[in-house]
Amino acid sequence: MKQGAFITIFFLLFSVVVLADTSEEHQDCPAPISVIGNHVHTSGEMMLSYRFMTMDMRGLQSGTDVIETADVLKDFMMVPTAMDMKMHMFGLMFAPHDKLTVMGMTSYRQLSMEMEEAHQHATEHHDHPVGTHEMSSAGIGDVQLDSLLTIWQRHNITIIGNLGVSFPTGSIAQQVDDGSILPYPMQLGSGSFEARPGLTAFGTHGNWSYGGQLRGAFPLNINASEYRHGSTLTATTWGARRVNNWISLSARLLFSHKGNITGSHPDLDINRSPSHRPDFQGFNRLDVAISSNLIVPTGSLAGQRLAMEFMVPVYQSLTGTQLKNTWKLVLGWQYAFRLL
Ligand SMILES: [Cu+2]
């Protein structure tokens, strides 16, 4: 399998560089780029960030079983076969105090979904796929505010509490050209205010750094379209190793749980497609990711970081019939500087 070979080569390269011992002098060894709110800043420090995320979903699965498109078309008029998600994420961090960092984030999202459609005959039932088409949506996502409080710090270990809120700035009324509403996964926001608590711990040891984060997202209200997304819980743990003054490499495990939707959009017909069903939205997933970081230690570009993370699922159990994740890539830029 092409993807398997690619991952194997990546991991081999990764272990070769990790095992090659090089330098001694201390310098930051950051967490993987897509862990949000994993570090704090010192008073008066500011950080700008941009992340580009692209994710591929392909093939249907129910629970952990692979499902054929033709089988799903026995029960639905349409079925998604692939989905592509692109996100441009913008973030701003500022520390008014050594023990408090505040953070704001939003994103611009581009979603597209490929569908296969069944024949519609009054007298005869065909269940083989006959037509494919694509639907897409794009726009601003939800806005997140987060405060990071240093609650414990000793030796090389820091524990921070994350207190976050998400505002429903993303549209939940994205439509197809003919005016019909797009299914749940194609909407840009959740439509609800969300509480986003979390707990993050990280430490350093020589050329190594490590950490873990527990995070929840709890939608607080039924949105304007009469539904509420399920709660999300994530747990991640990472290890990073500095190779030299410029480069560090990291690996992490991520477990995610998402519940089903409560309520339903009044215009989404549950017989149309599996993605129209509010009870087909939850999942449990375990992902593994490797990443690299490039940090400029001195000079006029000091404080800049370029990073890349590549993630693949190793286990996913989907509630009902859904598209499964195949891979995700995040490219990021961060720039920290002293404002005050
Ligand atoms: Cu920061």
Distance 98 CA to ligand 1 centre (A): 13
* pLDDT of the residue at 5: 56
For residue 93, report the distance from its CA to the centre of ligand 1, in Å. 5
Span from the CA of 189 to the centroid of ligand 1 (angstroms): 24
Around Cβ 322, how many Cβ atoms within 10 Å? 24
Measured in angstroms, how far is the CA atom of residue 192 from the centroid of ligand 1? 26
Distance 127 CA to ligand 1 centre (A): 52
For the purposes of burial, counting CB atoms within 10 Å of the CB of 315, is it exposed (0-12), middle (13-18) or buried (19 or more)? exposed
Cα angle 328, 333, 338; round to 5 = 145
- Per the document, the length of the chain is 340
**How remote is the CA of residue 101 from the centroid of ligand 1, in Å?**
8
At residue 73, the pLDDT reads: 92
Task: State in Å: Cα 258 to ligand 1 middle.
Answer: 27
The structure tokens listed for 172 are 């939940």
CA–chain centroid gap for 157, Å, is 26
**pLDDT confidence of residue 296:** 84
314: number of Cβ within 10 Å: 9
Distance 45 CA to ligand 1 centre (A): 9
Q: How many CA atoms lie within 13 A of 47 on its CB side?
A: 24
Separation of 231 CA from ligand 1 center, angstroms? Answer: 26
Centroid of ligand 1 to alpha carbon of 182 (angstroms): 35
**pLDDT at res. 214:** 98
Q: How many whole angstroms from 265 Cα to the centroid of ligand 1?
A: 38
**pLDDT for the residue 177:** 84
Q: How far apart are CA 15 and CA 7, in angstroms?
A: 12
In the chain, beta strands by DSSP E: 45-63, 65-67, 78-97, 100-118, 129-140, 143-154, 157-167, 194-205, 208-219, 227-228, 232-242, 247-258, 262-263, 283-295, 304-338
Query: pLDDT truncated to tens, each residue of the chain (340 aa)?
Result: 455 555 555 554 544 444 444 333 345 788 999 999 999 999 999 999 999 999 999 999 999 999 999 999 999 999 999 999 999 999 999 999 999 999 999 999 999 999 998 865 444 554 444 678 899 999 999 999 999 999 999 988 999 999 999 999 999 999 998 889 999 999 999 999 999 999 999 999 999 999 999 999 999 999 999 999 999 999 999 999 999 888 999 999 999 999 999 999 999 999 999 999 999 999 999 999 999 999 888 888 888 999 999 999 999 999 999 999 999 999 999 999 998 7
Alpha carbon of 103 to ligand 1 centroid (Å):
8
- How far, in Å, is the centroid of ligand 1 from the Cα of 43? 12
The answer to whether 170 touches 189, Cβ cutoff 8 Å, is yes
Q: How far is CA 269 from CA 68, 82, 301, in A?
A: 22, 20, 54
CA of 24 to the centre of ligand 1 (A): 25
Instruction: Say what the pTM is.
Output: 0.86
The whole-number pLDDT of residue 245 equals: 86
CATH topology for 2-338 is Porin (2.40.160)
CA gap 132, 284 in Å, rounded: 29
Contacts of residue 125, defined as CB under 8 A and 6 or more positions apart, other chains included, come to: none
224 Cα: distance to centroid of ligand 1 (angstroms): 34
**CA–centroid distance, residue 90 to ligand 1 (Å):** 12
Q: What is the dihedral of CA 267, 270, 273, 278, to 10 degrees?
A: 90
335 alpha carbon to ligand 1 midpoint, in Å?
Answer: 8
